[in-house]
């Protein structure tokens, strides 16, 4: 039901304030997936309902719902008894009765569906003769009559006044064939789609006499599709991933499933987060998670899945052609290179940026010498497709490519965007830089040409999952890329001794800050050299921070990084005390923000074998405007505290949901962080945001400066932070902060 719209005009934004008191009468009928909850007090949901809510963000409309059947509500719209009605197909004869806006709200196919046990009915239209076809009394019946007449098919057509009765009749075998909306009908048991008999755009239509309402609707639709050109695609993916057309297997798909009881997946080694073989010889990476997820989403339980790893991309693809494996992952290169390799590419599993890696600045990659991994043709396909004039030099592995750049044998190389930052953390590559290239790179699955049954099965599953699942799984495996090959030398031990000394000094400073009032005589002495205690602390912390930062960068020591964090917190506390903290306005991608937060706490989680999960299922605006550093600081502080006081093997999660407010340009991001750790008593929860608060003298549970700063940052943002905890069972922190919605082009 997705389509692309190109509007060559400037956006016209409708002021919500000018319409805030306007109430629109909406005709609301029950229609599975498309529009549900058609009754007083019922919870509303569905494609059309969410579309109405989105329009309200641009118009400020309030809605009054009028319930009934589709036909009754259509007559009310013609009579002017309601203002708008969704899901109306375009027909010339209706233009005299109702007003259509300039842009549709979707595109729909009408399909004929049979029971899978009716072998005498096929995709051949002549086999429909003499059978009973059930259809909704709407445009679907109008187009069905037209189709049957054109093909001279004599069938018994039964009209239904609502979708529920129609579907019930099909499920109980009272009718032989169901005429249904391909994307607006849930999966049926023992159902098989035969053919599509019509395709049509459908609209939110308005009372023909209300020209002002039509103007407002057109302005809102224009603005929506300029601001969010992929809105309809995302809405389709959200609501129609379990629709009839997506999950009902075709004849070719059923034949493939009937002929196979196993599925062999070939994957590429040394290519995390996508795929690799771990130290136990087992498959790891996205491939390990996504294949079973696709199979389960399609409710297939007859396939035994196995994996075969390959060190070379060409060997993996050749194994598909020889049928040693059924599917290869990952593959790339687009249609041309896939055809050359004799494989189909599935729909995209994951898209990412590509980074150019260089030592000396490379202005134009198309004129550069680029090092390419001979074992990974995907890199070659990317470079050859986007920089055809570049001089490509092959090396045996990505490490050799990076070394060639360091040694000046090549101007640059490329790394997949999900891999680049983590690989370059290795000190060996500290002289290399990166910049993001403008061309994205898709990662797909490869299936042998001719095996279209399996291709269609996997394309269905990929559509159901969407790309967010693969993105979230990728973060689990990114850090597996990093291996520190550096060996200790005498200088490293000198650094360690220096770190210990600095730790003692920082501890002294922290105690001095927290107990400053008790040491008034000492403060008076300090003030003889400094104008205030804050100036003293600030100068001392800043002076200490620089050598710690240098040591942390050189040694990549956990202790040094912890010291650095402590000093930064001291500086921040001092800034808050003096009122010098201000907030920036950064454009933030929520997914990238969570990735940074996870990187901040991953080492601590791995040391304690703590499972940490992030979820963004409740977020519609993934691009927001806020202070990225401070928002990251809040989440890192709370998660670090959760990990610190959780036992080995426990669980920590961070879920994000979005709560819209009356202001269309502002939304509330709600972060819920839970753990199964030691928890806090009711009494201690009153003091949890106080600096270095401890619940008992042994320090078995408590909070450092991080939570204190988190509370101050949330307050500065105009948000709220709450904690609930049960001793020995765990804690839940809920952070709610208002942020601006990013309205730029995605």
Determine the 3-state secondary structure of 295 from DSSP: helix
| d(C-alpha 710, C-alpha 644), whole Å | 16
| C-beta neighbour count of 56 within 10 angstroms | 18
370-384: average pLDDT: 95
Q: Is the peptide bond before 68 cis (omega within 30 degrees of 0)?
A: no
| d(C-alpha 410, C-alpha 416), whole Å | 18
- 110 to each of 49, 209, 328, how far by Cα in Å? 21, 31, 34
User: What is the per-residue pLDDT for 322?
Assistant: 94
Which CATH architecture does the domain made up of 354-439 adopt? 3-Layer(aba) Sandwich (3.40)
Q: Is residue 37 packed enough to be buried (19+ CB in 10 Å), middle (13-18) or exposed (0-12)?
A: middle
199-221: average pLDDT: 93
| d(C-alpha 287, C-alpha 270), whole Å | 13
| d(C-alpha 351, C-alpha 416), whole Å | 10
CB-based contacts of 676: which residues, under 8 Å, 6+ apart? Answer: 646, 650, 651, 652, 729, 730
- Neighbouring-strand partners of residue 722: 734
Reported as a pLDDT band with limits 50, 70 and 90, residue 436 is: confident
All structural domains of the chain with their residue ranges: 17-106+201-237, 108-199, 251-348+447-467, 354-439, 490-578, 586-741
The listed CATH number (3.40.50.300, 3.40.50.970, 3.40.1020.10, 3.40.190.10) that belongs to domain 108-199: 3.40.190.10
User: What is the per-residue pLDDT for 567?
Assistant: 62
If we measure between CA atoms, which residue out of 532, 533, 479, 531 comes closest to residue 509? 533
Average pLDDT of every residue of the chain: 82
If we measure between CA atoms, which residue out of 608, 681, 685, 683 comes closest to residue 639? 608
| C-beta neighbour count of 590 within 10 angstroms | 19
Catalogue the E-assigned strands of 332-403. 343-345, 350-352, 354-358, 369-373, 391-395
251-348+447-467 has which fold? D-Maltodextrin-Binding Protein; domain 2 (3.40.190)
Residues 86-106: pLDDT tens digits? Answer: 999 888 889 899 999 999 998
| C-beta neighbour count of 593 within 10 angstroms | 22
Cα 53-54-57 angle, rounded to 5 deg: 95
Q: Do the beta carbons of residue 348 and residue 444 sit within 8 Å? A: yes
User: What is the per-residue pLDDT for 16?
Assistant: 38
Residues 689-704: pLDDT tens digits? Answer: 887 666 654 545 555 6
Determine the 3-state secondary structure of 437 from DSSP: coil
pLDDT beyond 90 at 297: no
Residue 43 DSSP code: P
**Of residues 327 and 4, more confidently modeled:** 327
**Of residues 80 and 519, more confidently modeled:** 80
| d(C-alpha 690, C-alpha 676), whole Å | 22
- 662 to each of 20, 250, 463, 740, how far by Cα in Å? 9, 46, 33, 13
- 119 to each of 122, 168, 422, 672, how far by Cα in Å? 7, 21, 55, 52
Q: Which CATH superfamily is domain 17-106+201-237 in?
A: Periplasmic binding protein-like II (3.40.190.10)
Residues 392-431: pLDDT tens digits? Answer: 999 999 999 999 999 999 999 999 988 888 888 777 888 8
| d(C-alpha 719, C-alpha 697), whole Å | 32
- What's phi and psi for 68, nearest 5 deg? 165, -175
pLDDT beyond 70 at 494: no
| C-beta neighbour count of 156 within 10 angstroms | 12
Q: For the chain, give the longest Cα–Cα distance.
A: 104
17-106+201-237 with 354-439: one CATH topology?
yes
pTM above 0.85, yes or no: no
User: What is the per-residue pLDDT for 696?
Assistant: 59
**Of residues 693 and 667, more confidently modeled:** 667
Cα 387-393-396 angle, rounded to 5 deg: 125
- Angle between helix 533-555 and helix 490-514 axes, rounded to 10 deg: 160
User: What is the per-residue pLDDT for 685?
Assistant: 84
What's the chain's length in residues? 746
Determine the 3-state secondary structure of 231 from DSSP: helix
- What is the secondary structure of 270-289 as a DSSP string? SBTTTBEE-TTS-EESHHHH
CB-based contacts of 604: which residues, under 8 Å, 6+ apart? Answer: 610, 640, 643, 644
If we measure between CA atoms, which residue out of 306, 77, 114 comes closest to residue 203? 77
Tell me which range, 547-556, 609-618, 731-740, is most confidently predicted by mean pLDDT: 731-740
**CATH number, domain 586-741:** 3.30.565.10
Q: Taken in order 57, 59, 61, 65, is the CA torsion positive or negative?
A: negative
Residues 232-247: pLDDT tens digits? Answer: 877 876 777 555 555 5
| d(C-alpha 666, C-alpha 741), whole Å | 6
**Of residues 540 and 219, more confidently modeled:** 219
Determine the 3-state secondary structure of 418 from DSSP: helix
Q: Is residue 529 packed enough to be buried (19+ CB in 10 Å), middle (13-18) or exposed (0-12)?
A: exposed
């Amino acid at each position: 039901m997705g389509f692309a719209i190109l509007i060559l005009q400037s956006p016209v934004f409708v002021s919500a304030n000018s319409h805030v008191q306007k109430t629109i009468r909406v005709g609301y009928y029950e229609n599975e997936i498309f529009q549900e909850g058609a009754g007083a007090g019922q919870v509303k949901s569905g494609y059309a309902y969410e579309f109405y809510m989105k329009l309200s963000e641009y118009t400020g409309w309030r809605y009054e719902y009028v319930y009934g059947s589709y036909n009754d509500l259509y007559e009310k719209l013609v009579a002017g008894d309601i203002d708008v009605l969704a899901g109306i197909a375009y027909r010339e004869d209706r233009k005299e009765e109702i007003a259509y806006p300039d842009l549709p709200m979707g595109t729909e196919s009408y399909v004929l569906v049979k029971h899978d046990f009716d072998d005498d009915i096929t995709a051949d239209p002549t086999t429909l003769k003499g059978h009973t076809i059930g259809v909704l009394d709407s445009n679907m019946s109008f187009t069905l009559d037209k189709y049957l007449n054109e093909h001279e098919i004599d069938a018994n057509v039964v009209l239904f006044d609502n979708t529920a009765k129609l579907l019930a009749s099909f499920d109980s075998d009272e009718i032989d064939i169901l005429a249904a909306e391909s994307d607006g009908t849930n999966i049926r048991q023992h159902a098989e789609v035969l053919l599509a008999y019509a395709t049509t755009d459908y609209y939110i239509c308005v009372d023909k006499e209300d020209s002002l309402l039509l103007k407002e609707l057109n302005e809102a639709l224009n603005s929506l599709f300029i601001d969010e050109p992929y809105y309809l695609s995302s809405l389709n993916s959200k609501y129609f991933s379990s629709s009839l057309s997506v999950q009902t297997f075709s004849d070719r798909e059923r034949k493939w499933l009937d002929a196979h009881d196993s599925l062999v997946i070939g994957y590429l080694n040394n290519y995390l987060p996508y795929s690799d073989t771990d130290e136990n010889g087992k498959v790891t990476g996205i491939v390990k998670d996504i294949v079973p997820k696709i199979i389960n989403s399609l409710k297939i339980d007859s396939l035994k899945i196995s994996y075969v790893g390959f060190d070379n991309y060409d060997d993996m693809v050749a194994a598909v052609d020889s049928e040693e494996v059924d599917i290869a992952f990952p593959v790339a290169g687009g249609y041309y290179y896939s055809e050359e390799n004799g494989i189909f590419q599935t729909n995209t599993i994951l898209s990412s940026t590509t980074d150019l890696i260089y030592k000396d600045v490379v202005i134009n990659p198309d004129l550069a010498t680029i090092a390419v991994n001979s074992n990974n043709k995907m890199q070659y396909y990317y470079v050859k497709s986007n920089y055809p004039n570049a001089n490509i030099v092959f090396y045996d592995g990505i490490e050799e490519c990076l070394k060639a750049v360091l040694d000046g044998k090549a101007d640059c190389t490329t790394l997949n965007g999900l891999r680049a930052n983590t690989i370059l953390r290795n000190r060996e590559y500290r002289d290399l830089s990166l910049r993001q290239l403008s061309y994205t790179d898709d990662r797909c699955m490869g299936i042998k040409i001719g095996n279209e049954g399996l291709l269609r099965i996997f394309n269905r599953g990929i559509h159901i999952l969407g790309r967010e699942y693969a993105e979230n799984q990728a973060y689990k495996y990114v850090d597996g890329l990093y291996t520190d090959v550096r060996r200790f030398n005498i200088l490293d031990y000198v650094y360690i001794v220096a770190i210990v000394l600095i730790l003692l000094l920082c501890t002294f400073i922290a105690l001095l800050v927290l107990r400053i009032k008790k040491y008034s005589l000492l403060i008076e002495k300090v003030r003889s050299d400094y104008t205030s205690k804050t100036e003293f602390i600030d100068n001392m912390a800043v002076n200490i921070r620089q050598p710690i930062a240098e040591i942390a960068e050189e040694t990549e020591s956990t202790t040094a990084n912890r010291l650095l964090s402590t000093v930064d917190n001291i500086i921040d506390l001092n800034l808050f005390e003096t009122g010098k903290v201000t907030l920036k306005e950064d454009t933030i991608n929520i997914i990238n923000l969570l990735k940074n937060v996870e990187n901040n706490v991953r080492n601590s989680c791995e040391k304690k074998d703590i499972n940490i999960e992030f979820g963004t299922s409740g977020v519609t605006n993934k691009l927001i405007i806020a202070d990225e550093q401070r928002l990251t600081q809040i989440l890192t502080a709370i998660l670090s505290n959760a990990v610190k006081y959780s036992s080995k093997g426990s669980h920590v999660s961070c879920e994000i949901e979005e709560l819209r407010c009356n202001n269309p340009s502002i939304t509330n991001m709600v972060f819920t962080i839970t753990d199964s750790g030691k928890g806090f008593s009711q009494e201690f929860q009153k003091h949890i945001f106080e600096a270095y608060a401890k619940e008992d003298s042994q320090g078995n549970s408590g909070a450092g400066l991080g939570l204190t700063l988190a509370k101050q940052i949330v307050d500065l943002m105009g948000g709220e932070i709450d904690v609930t905890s049960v001793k020995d069972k765990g804690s839940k922190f809920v952070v709610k902060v208002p942020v601006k919605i990013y309205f730029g082009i995605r």
